[in-house]
Amino acid sequence: MARILVVDDDKNTRRLISVSLNKNNDILLATNGIEAVKLFEQNVVDLLIIDVMMPQMDGYELTKLLRETNNNNPILMLTSKHAIMDKQKGYSLGIDDYLTKPFDPIELQLRVDALLRRAQVSNKHILTINTITLNKRSLEVTTPKETMLLPKKEFDLLFKLLSYPNVIFTKYQLMDEIWGMSNDSDDHTINVHINRLRNRFAAYDDFELRTIRGLGFKAVTKQ
């Protein structure tokens, strides 16, 4: 089951999409880009369906923001505009597919399924490091002794580092990818979250989060 964020200011469109897709998916709903950003920061999202014309922050602005902060979730853009230049603008900002209104619910389902397959959603949520398993869907980390539910940013940081053992990430890289949409964080935030993770997993030797002086951080896993 995938989690899909639908962003559209028209309630009838939101209802139609929900009815069309909710059998096999978890649907989150937003009426504009600003609401969408808040939901995106609080949830693990697999795919976004974004309308172009919306108040406060339109679909183009939202897409631009997502791509500038290195979020590569598949984006299906909805619009009543049929001109090729409008499609060109969407693709140039980083959308993955385009569907014009009114749309056939079956075509919507087919396009969503194709985007999710392309993104290999079913394979990217579980990460196992020796005896520890991370579930990106539930934000849970399971160890031989317990299952811990982590705050989203903390989980994202751990998942990122453990996905690339021995790769050094700078504070700025991590800030850009994980805290990119937040305006009230600085690089000290990384140190705080790293220390929290070290404390949480101090009793386990499956991995170690190391500080590389002058460079950043990396995860080292037990051989």
Say if residue 96 is in the same domain as residue 179.
Answer: no
Give residue 5's pLDDT. Answer: 96
Cis previous bond, 165, omega within 30: no
- pLDDT under 50 in the chain at which residues? 122, 182
Give residue 185's pLDDT. Answer: 61
Q: Could you tell me the CATH number of the domain that includes residue 49?
A: 3.40.50.2300
Q: Which of 123, 157, 181 is the last residue of a domain?
A: 123
Say if residue 111 is in the same domain as residue 24.
Answer: yes
Cβ partners under 8 Å of residue 172, min gap 6: 187
Say if residue 112 is in the same domain as residue 141.
Answer: no
Say if residue 131 is in the same domain as residue 201.
Answer: yes
| Cα distances (angstroms) measured from residue 3 to each of 105, 137, 169, 170, 179 | 18, 9, 28, 30, 21
Q: What is the count of structural domains for the chain?
A: 2
Describe the crossing of helices 11-21 and 105-119 by its angle, rounded to 10 degrees.
60
Give residue 120's pLDDT. Answer: 67
Give residue 184's pLDDT. Answer: 58
Say if residue 138 is in the same domain as residue 214.
Answer: yes
Give residue 186's pLDDT. Answer: 67
Q: Which of 94, 123, 152 is the last residue of a domain?
A: 123
Give residue 122's pLDDT. Answer: 46
Tokens of 216: 């950043």
Coil, helix or strand at residue 122: helix
Give residue 179's pLDDT. Answer: 78
Say if residue 183 is in the same domain as residue 112.
Answer: no
Nearest to 120 by CA among 76, 74, 183, 89: 74
Task: Work out the end-to-end distance of the chain between its first and last CA atoms, rounded to an integer number of angstroms.
Answer: 33
pTM of the complete model beyond 0.95 = no
Say if residue 37 is in the same domain as residue 113.
Answer: yes
By the 10 Å C-beta count (0-12 exposed, 13-18 middle, 19+ buried), 45 is classed as buried
Domain that holds residue 200: 126-221
Say if residue 108 is in the same domain as residue 31.
Answer: yes
Distance CA 151, CA 34 (A): 22
Q: Which of 123, 155, 180 is the last residue of a domain?
A: 123
Tokens of 52: 């172009």
Give residue 205's pLDDT. Answer: 92
Say if residue 164 is in the same domain as residue 142.
Answer: yes
Say if residue 61 is in the same domain as residue 106.
Answer: yes
Q: Could you tell me the CATH number of the domain that includes residue 158?
A: 1.10.10.10
Say if residue 28 is in the same domain as residue 85.
Answer: yes
